[in-house]
Chain A
């Protein structure tokens, strides 16, 4: 299970490389460049240095004592990816791919973003390395995540609004792919989740592997044993796979991915790919996919822009089918409640995406006395202040 994907990018039946022919040779080049970089000590040393001194790794594994005690069950630890530079785990992958782009001689970077966290992290590394940066973002997400749009612009990135479809992450990825198809000789597509065509799901996972590797060492040092459960939110699934991957060979460690349950279980009102999706191909990869009976991609909804996507990383599809990980849906309302709960018990305002993982932990903890949970707190909530205000009007009125 640790050795996947296979040489053609498959995790069991999932993954692969489903793109127009124009992109096939560039993906082969990217795969070759990454294979070299992966075993190059100089590349790894530079990456490690930037992760430590620029991004702020390792991140703490923090025992959320008041939250745990208030629930009266499991001990909940938070992996504090929210404390990283730019505010979320996304920076791990951005540093890695930017170094790879430099190695490949690509001077222009493009990216998609949903919540804007990947866009901000991409814009930051492009500023750091003096690279030209264009970020595609759905107009609905630009409205929801105004603050991050401005941060990207302040960092020198060009933010292009996408008006197609639902104007969210899926449409931003399509537009980024169209740019890449056109400018492939000069441009690296810095994809921000464990999605897309091979080698992206593997490469993005590898760049986030540090999350689980650190957490495993930290929990052994603090508790002298492995945790009982790992919990993370799953949009494309990069933070979750980053946490899970280091524990795949630990059969006693359960893995739980929290998808966006949105407003309801009706198609179009959620983003629970494992509860309503059928395997299919979208944007380069074969995975669980929310679609209608004619194979058209369904619209999705989540209060959290980062989870609002019709497909899911192919490795998650594989872990799901193998029953190595389980996936569950958390509604908008429950995620919002969890955000308030964590804010008031621990003094930590989580990102809306991460709130879905926190909510799942809150739900399971009371019945899990004696157990240890690790929740990936993948991002901080500053960017979500406007949405929290919109949805928690009673707090504003106090």
Chain B
């Protein structure tokens, strides 16, 4: 998928959505809207009660999803529903504790059965991830890890070693959330990471506009957008036009225009 976009001279759009926000039954339709709008890969967020890596927008999304009764098992059901009609790659995006409670082996089997392609864990580094990586790889799931501007060369090498599918580069120190201006550390981080891996590199944190999408896309293979999409869900959550709004926002993100 990253290769196909590369051949077209475009970055891939990696779109994050908190599953279950605003309701569990809405999520499959929202994923379809993202795909129609131009998303190439979906990060399906598992809501967690204490999301330390997230800013206020995604925190509120997780709160809404949990209040609506979303669970990790429910997220897998949503993925299976999406798979009935779409082949878009799906990465499960979760904090560690819900996965730990579910059990790594059971999760890997159930995620595979639901049609999920990979998993990403926000709050556990490669050092603590051995059992997790083994369990996911045993079912053929990709394990995506994050690299950050603070990562040392030794750590970038470790991240490369444990990652498959793609590597997620965090554009700046901080929590998730839209930013007016892009961090200067993106270029150097992409360059450093390239030394250690041939995997596609997706850059995220703080990207919400077409211009930013273009700019980041000129140095990376993929661009992750999360908070900006969750904000659209927040603003139009109760509206019958939610899917339409999300689709057109996504289209503007990828193609520009108003």
**Interaction A to B:** yes
- Which residues of A approach B to under 8 Å, CB–CB? 8, 16-26, 28, 164-165, 170-171, 174, 177-178, 181-185, 278, 280-283, 289, 291, 293-297
B146/A164 in contact, CB under 8 A: no
* Listed stretches B11-19, B28-36, B151-159; interface member: B151-159
In this complex, what residue of B is CB-closest to A283? B52
A-B contact count (CB 8 A): 116
Q: CA separation between A185 and B174, bound complex, in Å? A: 11
Q: CA separation between A208 and B101, bound complex, in Å? A: 33
Q: For the complex, is B71 an interface residue (Cβ under 8 Å from A)? A: yes
Q: CA separation between A291 and B155, bound complex, in Å? A: 32
B124/A177 in contact, CB under 8 A: no
* Listed stretches B37-45, B91-99, B108-116, B220-228; interface member: B91-99
Which residues 77-136 in B have Cβ within 8 Å of A in the complex?
Answer: 96-102, 122-125, 127-128
Interface residues on B, range: 35 or more
A281/B124 in contact, CB under 8 A: yes
List 8 additional A-B contacts (Cβ < 8 Å) besides A18-B123, A294-B72: A20-B146, A178-B52, A181-B174, A185-B173, A294-B102, A295-B72, A295-B99, A295-B102
Q: Quick one: which of A25, A170, A185 contacts B152, CB cutoff 8 A?
A: A25
In this complex, what residue of A is CB-closest to B48? A296
Interchain Cβ contacts under 8 Å between A and B, 24 examples: A17-B128, A20-B52, A20-B123, A21-B145, A21-B151, A21-B155, A21-B170, A23-B150, A25-B155, A165-B49, A170-B50, A178-B53, A182-B173, A183-B173, A184-B173, A185-B173, A281-B96, A281-B123, A283-B52, A294-B71, A294-B101, A295-B97, A296-B97, A297-B49
Q: Which residues of A contact B145 (CB under 8 A)?
A: 21
Q: Which residues of B contact A177 (CB under 8 A)?
A: 52
Q: Quick one: which of B98, B150, B155, B175 contacts A296, CB cutoff 8 A?
A: B98
Q: Which residues of B contact A19 (CB under 8 A)?
A: 52, 123, 125
Q: Which residues of A contact B96 (CB under 8 A)?
A: 18, 281
Q: For the complex, is B160 an interface residue (Cβ under 8 Å from A)? A: no
Which of B48, B50, B71, B96 has the most chain A CB within a 10 Å cutoff? B50
Q: Quick one: which of A8, A283, A294 contacts B98, CB cutoff 8 A?
A: A294
Q: Which residues of A contact B125 (CB under 8 A)?
A: 17-19, 21, 24
Q: Which residues of A contact B230 (CB under 8 A)?
A: none
Q: Which residues of B contact A16 (CB under 8 A)?
A: 127-128
Q: CA separation between A98 and B145, bound complex, in Å? A: 33
**Ordered nearest first, which 9 A-B pairs have the shortest CB separation?**
A295-B101, A295-B98, A22-B148, A182-B174, A296-B49, A294-B71, A21-B146, A20-B53, A295-B97
In this complex, what residue of A is CB-closest to B60? A164
Q: How far is the CB of A188 from chain B (nearest CB, A)?
A: 14
Q: Which residues of A contact B97 (CB under 8 A)?
A: 280-282, 289, 291, 295-297
Q: How far is the CB of A112 from chain B (nearest CB, A)?
A: 12
Which of B51, B97, B147, B175 has the most chain A CB within a 10 Å cutoff? B97
Q: How far is the CB of B158 from chain A (nearest CB, A)?
A: 9
Q: CA separation between A21 and B150, bound complex, in Å? A: 8
Q: Which residues of A contact B143 (CB under 8 A)?
A: none
Q: Which residues of B contact A21 (CB under 8 A)?
A: 125, 145-148, 150-151, 155, 159, 170
Which of B59, B66, B101, B159 has the most chain A CB within a 10 Å cutoff? B101
Q: Which residues of A contact B50 (CB under 8 A)?
A: 165, 170-171, 174, 282-283, 297
Q: Which residues of A contact B256 (CB under 8 A)?
A: none
Q: Quick one: which of B49, B73, B147, B173 contacts A181, CB cutoff 8 A?
A: B173
